[in-house]
Structure 1
Amino acid sequence: MKILSLNIRGFGVKGKFGWVKGICYSEKPDVAVFQETKCRCLSNNWVHSLWGNDNCGFVQREAIGNSGGLLVVWDTSRFIVEGAVTNEFFIAIEGKWGGSDHDSIIVNVYGPHNDKKKKKMWGALDELLNSVDSAWVVCGDFNEVKCHSDRLNCTFHHARASRFNDFILKNKLFEISINGRRFTCISDDGTKFSKLDRFLVNDKFINLWVDLSVVPIDRRESDHCPILLRDRVIDFGLKPFKVFDEWFNKVGVDKIILDAWELGVHGSRRDCNFRDKLKNVKK
């Protein structure tokens, strides 16, 4: 599973189309969400060329004049879209991951700068997330930060950050941390830094995948760096012992585990002592 998110700041700028096309070719995302496209009506041929093939679907919200614009593109063999909702501030697509019954809703957000519109956006997102009990991914450029450390050489608005955090808590969302990158947006003069781009997910989405992580991709043609949500399956080999969920429904199982853990072990090395305690629990 791979979901790419990027504020492109206008696809019409020279070099950006080819840059994004290269990312799609190398990373092969299942779904890609773009903010601030600054595009009007996009053709099938244009999207197919960006994606690298015609095995894709897309939904867009056109830019108003030379500002805004949202685009969501997906691989039709890996994410089967069953419906879409567009809004002034977001596009939401609902579907299933290919070869499974796993339902997910992916929301592409582009947050406004105006404080009044920000409040309107949080309300619209609250209503959307409360409408369906599903696995959620809310991502994009929120144009907002969670805490003071998410900005450098920029003004921090405590009230706005509080509303953002309230939205996250109210909807029981979790942020998947970005590996190796503190900020996602750098001003054109290179003096101001902010973390505006994120992936927020709920527990149902977390339960679908193993070891979720967000990795940044080199920022080349935009003031925002692309970020990629992906899962990674790790094979640690054979399990040391099996635990069946049914055991935890038995009365007294917790006492058995605690008593076994408290049994004395003898050794000078902590790792060996830990191993021997696991052996006691296993018995």
Structure 2
Amino acid sequence: MARNNKLCDGRFNCKNCCQRAPNPRKEYFEEIKQEFGDISEWLNQRCGTEGVWRGNWAELAQATVMSLNVRGFGVADKFGWVRGLCIRERPNIAVFQETKCFVQKDAIGNSGGLLVVWDTNRFKVNSAVGGEFFISIRGIWDGFVHNTIVVNVYGPHNDRDKKKLWDSLDSLMDGIDKGWVVCGDFNEVQEHSDRLNCMFHESRARRFNELIVRNNLIEIPIVGRKFTRISDDGIKMSKLDRFRVTDSFINLWKDLSICALDREESDHCPLLLRDGIINYGPKPFKIFDEWLNKDGVDKIINEGWIKNVRESKKDCLFRDKLKNVKGELRGWSKREFGNLDDEINTLKILL
């Protein structure tokens, strides 16, 4: 069957314009199945050959979009982490970069593989377009009449391909006044402060900023972290992952926020765009000055700090050590002072 849609060019295996091809990932899934059991079944059932999953998560009142450079789905721990993120955060739409198994084009080296998934109860997709470095879906959120276009971007590293991507995004957005969400790993920064201990290219940043200005893309500040990508040794840091939206999208969702989640199995932080109250994560533990005057408190803190932690990344290692200290102090305070909340409530009743 001949292809008659220039925008599609066979990448989505559309029923109307593409010849249905055999699953190019069959051998890959068989290997994963032998290694990790039902992981391949879970992916294959939901993603088909086009790398798009139409899931069925519970209906939510908020609009939520999650973006993550996953650095490959072929590891059991990483797969479980991503699946846990989707279950816990319940995004309406989730976009992934560097899956290394769902590809718009053949992966080059360790790069490649864009994936878009969505909850069909909350977001109704009516069309999709694929480019060399992006996937775009157009649809309507449940309860709304206006279209929203979500673009999943994985930015190339060399200047020629960067220009190709920026030109493609210009063409894609030209003259279409809709609610746009452009997100992903752009592999580019806007200013010098977006990098730490790594090289900043002023000319590349200027071209990236010009793209943003031309298309009136607005950045929503990220809560929780300044940098979204940290090298494995914890030295190099960059703000490569972003959400950019248009005025039309902001008019649909008034209280937008972006939260950076913990980067447990990737060098990139998952980003969560949400409409509503910001989730700042677990509350920090409190320590009172009076505790420091108690005999043995330094021993309690030391016991928590020296506990074994299975993390290798320095920031995650530090986080988990603080969690251990928090746990030790919580138990010690209850033994030393009793349940202070109950005592406070009792005093309130007496007063």
Tell me if TM exceeds 0.5: yes
Could you tell me which amino acid in structure 1 is paired with residue 217 of structure 2?
Answer: L
**3-state DSSP of counterpart to 1:207:** helix
Instruction: Give 1:180 deviation, angstroms.
Output: 2.1
User: Following the alignment from structure 2 to structure 1, what is the Cα–Cα distance between the partners of residues 256 and 106?
Assistant: 32
Instruction: State the partner residue of 2:73.
Output: 11
1:64-213 superposed matches below 5 A: 64=107, 66-213=110-257
User: Following the alignment from structure 2 to structure 1, what is the Cα–Cα distance between the partners of residues 105 and 120?
Assistant: 22
Instruction: State the partner residue of 1:30.
Output: 92
Verify the 8 A CA contact 1:38 1:63 in the aligned structure 2.
Answer: no
1:39-78 superposed matches below 5 A: 39-40=101-102, 61=104, 63-64=106-107, 66-78=110-122
Verify the 8 A CA contact 1:37 1:63 in the aligned structure 2.
Answer: no
Instruction: Give 1:131 deviation, angstroms.
Output: 4.7
User: Following the alignment from structure 1 to structure 2, what is the Cα–Cα distance between the partners of residues 205 and 96?
Assistant: 12
Instruction: State the partner residue of 1:269.
Output: none
User: Following the alignment from structure 2 to structure 1, what is the Cα–Cα distance between the partners of residues 214 and 68?
Assistant: 26
Instruction: State the partner residue of 1:46.
Output: none
Instruction: State the partner residue of 2:290.
Output: none
Q: Residue 231 of structure 1 is aligned with which of 272, 275, 281?
A: 275
Instruction: Give 1:62 deviation, angstroms.
Output: 5.3
User: Following the alignment from structure 1 to structure 2, what is the Cα–Cα distance between the partners of residues 196 and 116?
Assistant: 18
Matched residue pairs, number?
215
Instruction: State the partner residue of 1:266.
Output: none
**3-state DSSP of counterpart to 2:252:** coil
Could you tell me which amino acid in structure 1 is paired with residue 219 of structure 2?
Answer: E
Instruction: Give 1:14 deviation, angstroms.
Output: 3.3
The CA deviation string for residues 197-236 of structure 1, in whole angstroms up to 9 with x for no partner, is: 00000100000012100001111000001000001179xx
Q: Bigger CA drift: 60-69 or 197-206?
A: 60-69
User: Following the alignment from structure 1 to structure 2, what is the Cα–Cα distance between the partners of residues 231 and 105?
Assistant: 16
**3-state DSSP of counterpart to 1:61:** coil
**3-state DSSP of counterpart to 1:15:** helix
The CA deviation string for residues 148-174 of structure 1, in whole angstroms up to 9 with x for no partner, is: 000000000000000010000010010
Return 5+ residue gaps in structure 2 as ranges.
1-62, 279-351
Verify the 8 A CA contact 1:62 1:70 in the aligned structure 2.
Answer: no
User: Following the alignment from structure 2 to structure 1, what is the Cα–Cα distance between the partners of residues 73 and 203?
Assistant: 33
Higher relative contact order (CA 8 A, sep 6+): 1
Verify the 8 A CA contact 2:134 2:152 in the aligned structure 1.
Answer: yes
Instruction: Give 1:100 deviation, angstroms.
Output: 1.7
The RMSD of aligned alpha carbons is: 1.4
Structure richer in strand, relative to its length = 1
The CA deviation string for residues 256-276 of structure 1, in whole angstroms up to 9 with x for no partner, is: xxxxxxxxxxxxxxxxxxxxx
Instruction: State the partner residue of 1:214.
Output: 258
Percent identity for Structure 1 against Structure 2: 64
Could you tell me which amino acid in structure 2 is paired with residue 130 of structure 1?
Answer: D
Q: Bigger CA drift: 183-192 or 124-133?
A: 124-133
Could you tell me which amino acid in structure 1 is paired with residue 209 of structure 2?
Answer: N
Structure richer in helix, relative to its length = 2
Give the TM-score taking structure 1 as reference length: 0.74
Could you tell me which amino acid in structure 2 is paired with residue 3 of structure 1?
Answer: V
**Structure 1 runs, 4 residues or longer, greater than 4 Å off:** none
Verify the 8 A CA contact 1:11 1:37 in the aligned structure 2.
Answer: yes
Could you tell me which amino acid in structure 2 is paired with residue 26 of structure 1?
Answer: R
User: Following the alignment from structure 1 to structure 2, what is the Cα–Cα distance between the partners of residues 147 and 4?
Assistant: 24
